Amino acid sequence: MKILYTAEVTVHGGREGEAQSSDGHLVVHLSRPKELGGEGDHGTNPEQLFAAGYAACFQSALMQVARRQHVDAGPSTITAKVGIGPTGRGGFGLEVELHVSIPDVDKATSEKLVELADQVCPYSNATRGNIPVKLILEEQSLP
């Protein structure tokens, strides 16, 4: 694989710290969610950041494959839900649900676009076989 871009982010303080990208465009305060024993009121958390990255990447992949199929997926939305919990083996694991909405596109075409996007998206390729990922096509009404 030929690397085209490398993101660099440095974190100080773990889940209760701060993350900053090397270019200065990303600076976020981190806070442990209440569900994981934190206060959860002064920053984001790694699961939210992962959800944002996966959703953005998947939507870009979806729009790319839609263009190839001559379909307008511009008004699509992706909602990523990233869950964290104990694995039962002494550690923690993640699971993901991607809720995909492609308004004004029929179900069969939408299903095909989601399938193709899942093959193109780097996050999907990285998670495949490592964590459970559920792709959910939201129901929409066509005019």
- The CATH number for 46-137, chosen from 3.30.300.20, 3.40.47.10, 3.10.20.520, 3.30.450.370, is 3.30.300.20
Q: Tell me the pairing of strands 27-29 and 77-86.
A: unpaired
Angle between helix 46-68 and 107-120 (nearest 10): 120
C-alpha 61: how far from chain center: 12
In angstroms, the CA 120 to CA 104 distance is: 23
∠70-76-78 over CA atoms, to 5°?
Answer: 130
d(CA 33, CA 89): 22
The band of 143, judged by pLDDT with boundaries at 50, 70 and 90, is low
State what percent of residues in the chain have pLDDT above 90: 89
pLDDT of residue 12: 97
Query: How far is residue 43's CA from residue 110's CA, in Å, rounded to a whole number?
Result: 35
The length of the chain is 143
Provide the H-helix boundaries in 5-106. 46-68
What are residue 30's DSSP bridge partners? 44
The burial of 44, by beta-carbon neighbours within 10 Å (0-12 exposed, 13-18 middle, 19 or more buried), is given as middle
Domain boundaries, the chain: 1-44, 46-137
Asked if CATH classification 2.20.25.10 holds for the domain at 1-44, the reply, yes or no, is yes
pLDDT (tens digit per residue) in 12-39: 999 999 999 999 999 999 999 999 888 8
Q: Would you say residue 72 has pLDDT above 80?
A: yes
- Rounded Cα distance between 78 and 66, Å, is 14
